[in-house]
Amino acid sequence: GAGVSQSPSNKVTEKGKDVELRCDPISGHTALYWYRQRLGQGLEFLIYFQGNSAPDKSGLPSDRFSAERTGESVSTLTIQRTQQEDSAVYLCASSTSGRSTDTQYFGPGTRLTVL
Amino acid sequence: AQSVTQPDIHITVSEGASLELRCNYSYGATPYLFWYVQSPGQGLQLLLKYFSGDTLVQGIKGFEAEFKRSQSSFNLRKPSVHWSDAAEYFCAVATYYNQGGKLIFGQGTELSVKP
């Protein structure tokens, strides 16, 4: 079946603009995660959705970052008033139920460049 | 707080040689441990994972990893490296008490393979 998809694959924006990044999880996966990968660094957890539960936003770096998820489907990560330090690859992952033992399946990522 | 350390940023091995990538974690109890591989232009792919039981786990592509509680390590090994193994490798940890299974990643080890 189809894997996790993300769009756009690349996004170049000017400092101060807002951007929206989209993630389509694997069908039937109730858990969805967003991570950020800065150049030369590992992945940093941003936010986690599980079913209809309140999301775990503990990894969001500032209030300029927000995310929504429609039911158990698409998620959108929004960055307002982008800054140059927001330049990174944003990765989305999904898993069947959000248990710690579940495999997370990653999308190809969105490369964000803030000029 | 949980953390993961990959001491080697970059490793070069000759094709056919053996490989060992190091990973150390910090956590008070037994964590859930993962190795992911990221090939250029592709998303992360799970190589293997450890939760409990036999401390030597087998993964895809001929990789294996050994959990050593006394050393807080989960090193990845392969007896004979192929040129197609050139990629970035990430060690990650999730914990039993970490609701939602969010992963904490190391900074990654980039593997180059010499012909």
Q: Where are the domains of chain A?
A: 5-99
Q: Residue B28 has what pLDDT?
A: 67
Number of residues that this document lists for chain A? 115
CA dist A83 and A85 (Å) reads 5
- Over 90: is that where the pLDDT of B42 sits? no
Bridge partners (DSSP) of residue A56 are A48
Question: Is the CB of residue B43 less than 8 Å away from at least one CB of chain A?
Answer: yes
The vertex-B83 CA angle with B79 and B89, nearest 5°, equals 70
Mean pLDDT of B62-68: 96
pLDDT confidence of B43, banded at 50, 70, 90?
A: confident
Domains of chain B: 3-114 (2.60.40.10)
State residue B95's pLDDT score. 66
Phi and psi angles of residue A28, each rounded to the nearest 5 degrees, phi first: 95, -10
Q: Which residues of A touch B32 (CB under 8 A)?
A: 100-101
Residue type, A17: K
CATH superfamily of A5-99: Immunoglobulins (2.60.40.10)
Per-residue model confidence (pLDDT) at position A70: 85
Q: Is the model more confident about A1 or about B71?
A: B71
The per-residue pLDDT for B97 is: 59
Neighboring chain A residues of B29 at a CB cutoff of 8 Å: none
What would the mean pLDDT of B79-105 be, rounded to a whole number?
Answer: 87
State the pLDDT at residue A53: 85
B60 has a chain A CB within 8 A of its CB: no
Averaged pLDDT, B71-80:
96
pLDDT at B99: 62
Distance, CA of A89 to CA of A41 (rounded, Å): 11
Cβ A101–B101 below 8 Å, yes or no?
yes
CA distances from A5 to A9, B4, B12 (A): 9, 27, 32
CA B77/CA A107 separation, integer angstroms: 26
What is the mean pLDDT of the segment spanning B82-99?
Answer: 85
Q: Reply yes or no on whether the pLDDT at B41 is more than 80.
A: no
Give me the residues of chain A with pLDDT under 70, please: 1
Whether the per-residue pLDDT at B22 is higher than 80: the answer is yes
Q: Which of B95, B106, B107 sits opposite A100 (nearest CB)?
A: B95
